Amino acid sequence: MPAFKTLDDFDLSGKRVLVRADLNVPVADGKVTDATRIERLVPTIREIIKVDGKAIILSHFGRPKGKVDPEFSLEQVVQSVAEETGHPVGFVETDWVDVSKAKQAIDEAPAGSILVLENTRFHPGEEANDLELAKRMAELGDIYVNDAFSAAHRAHASTEAIARLLPSAAGRSMEQELRALEQGLGAPERPVIAIVGGAKVSTKLDLLENLISKVDALVIGGAMANTFLHAGGLGVGKSLAEKDLADTANRIREKADQAHCAIILPIDATVAWHFEANAPHRFYGVDAMDPEGMILDVGPGSIERIKAAIDEARTVVWNGPLGAFEMQPFDHGTVEIARYVAQRTKAGKVVSVAGGGDTVAALAHAGVKDQFSYVSTAGGAFLEWMEGKALPGVEALKG
């Protein structure tokens, strides 16, 4: 594990604790529609306030482009934070140019308070990782806790610069995420199988290149599998495929061979002639594709092949659906494999780690989001971790 401190390393009693959270949650008509990220923040907040510390929450929300914009005020999520923590929550306005009023509000708040500060992106220095802005933020607290893994891939004032100005620690959610990811790829129990799906090879080149050096088998699904099938000389009809990346796909396969990483591609497919839910469809072997058809999901033979690979694994890492999971019946492959991984996880046969926006939605659709060992809600940060990149918000906590 990386050497970072946690809440266990600090006496939080009576301290002003700046907590970098990710309150960038979906809101409709002034109401939070998915409070998952807020729920994961609760353990850290409760540990602070139970010893009369003040939990002072920093977060971005939307893209106000460095200007004060009421549309992106964090005031609209305060009620949801109060509901999830079961505790009153105050809101502190600031434009981040002058923080004197914020400092006064924090000083006057009673011990054990929870306060949400205004959107950090209301100041252009946030996304510029401006040291002067970070210093103003640091004036408001005694200890800095980063509990926003989903924002850890950004070197911003509230995620990177401030961590170097105050005694710093990972919050409980960040700590849990980093330990889960270490189990997934850092020091996993082998064999390790990665399942990677989605539409485009071009958006996941770094991911594929990193994984083939770290896993024992790599299942490639979704439309990106079509690119590999095409590169292997197979017809993919009118399926979505990046045919200009055939050489790239073949290079990845060669590197996988050299790394002794098995590439598992579909051997059959669910094919339709219209891209719509419940479109007429049939199964084809990938060596006998209808030139007028579109591959919209893996076929039954491929599902069994993937299950057999999972049976051999001790660790499963997943990013991206295996087909057009948002439309029935082309969700079948993704749902079937998701439920199988969940079943193997429950039986104690595998450690399963999944993440990425579409992946979380797919696992929720399959009804197994809570049955994996760990499901990351951090889209970009999870992907960059899978790509093997250093995350500034994590690196700043080390040492």
Q: What is the pLDDT of residues 212-255, one digit of tens each?
A: 999 999 999 999 999 999 999 999 999 999 999 999 999 999 99
Residue 205's pLDDT band (cuts 50, 70, 90): confident
The beta strand positions in 139-181, using DSSP E, are 143-146, 168-170
What's the CA gap between 23 and 42, in Å, rounded? 12
Residue 264 and residue 302 in contact, taking contact as beta carbons nearer than 8 Å: no
Q: Which strand (E) or helix (H) includes residue 297?
A: strand 294-298
Q: What is the pLDDT of residue 258?
A: 97
The amino acid present at 234, given as its one-letter code, is L
Percent of the chain exceeding pLDDT 70 equals 99
Q: Give one DSSP letter per residue of 13-58, joined into a string.
A: TT-EEEEE------EETTEES--HHHHHHHHHHHHHHTTT-EEEEE
Nearest to 245, CA basis, from 261, 232, 235: 232
Residue 239 and residue 222 in contact, taking contact as beta carbons nearer than 8 Å: no
CA 200 to chain centre: 18
Q: What is the pLDDT of residue 383?
A: 87
The amino acid present at 164, given as its one-letter code, is R
Give me the domains of the chain, ranges plus CATH numbers: 7-172 (3.40.50.1260), 188-386 (3.40.50.1260)
Residues in the chain, how many?
399
Q: What is the pLDDT of residue 166?
A: 97
Q: What is the pLDDT of residue 354?
A: 95
Residue 193 and residue 309 in contact, taking contact as beta carbons nearer than 8 Å: yes
Q: What is the pLDDT of residue 169?
A: 97
Q: Where are the alpha helices (DSSP H) in 50-150?
A: 78-85, 100-108, 131-138
Helix, strand and coil percent figures for the chain, each rounded to 5: 40, 20, 40
The amino acid present at 373, given as its one-letter code, is S
CA 270 to chain centre: 29
Over residues 140-172, the pLDDT tens digits come to 999 999 999 999 999 999 999 999 999 999 999
CA 189 vs CA 178, 182, 184, 186, 309: distances in Å: 16, 10, 8, 10, 15
What's the CA gap between 192 and 350, in Å, rounded? 9
Q: Mean pLDDT, the chain, as a whole number?
A: 95
Q: What is the pLDDT of residue 1?
A: 47
Q: How big is the CA angle at 240 (ends 287 and 292), to the nearest 5 degrees?
A: 55
pLDDT at 84 over 80: yes
Exposure class string for 242-258: b at 16+ Cβ within 10 A, else e: beebbebbeebbeebee
Q: Is the dihedral of CA 80, 84, 89, 93 positive or negative?
A: negative
> What are phi and psi for residue 209, nearest 5 degrees?
-60, -40
Q: Is the pTM of this model over 0.85?
A: yes
Q: Which residues are catalytic?
A: 37, 200, 357, 380
Instruction: Give the number of C-alpha atoms closer than 13 A to the C-alpha of residue 141, restricted to the C-beta side.
Output: 30
Q: What is the pLDDT of residue 380?
A: 85
Q: How many CB atoms lie within 10 A of CB 147?
A: 27
pLDDT at 14 over 90: yes
Q: What is the pLDDT of residue 399?
A: 61
pLDDT at 208 over 70: yes
Q: In what order do the strands lie in the sheet with 192-196?
A: 262-264, 217-220, 192-196, 315-319, 351-355, 374-376
| Residue in this structure with the two tokens 């139970």, named with its chain if needed | 50
What's the CA gap between 249 and 245, in Å, rounded? 6
What's the CA gap between 164 and 326, in Å, rounded? 43
Tokens of 186: 């850092």
> What are phi and psi for residue 54, nearest 5 degrees?
-105, 120
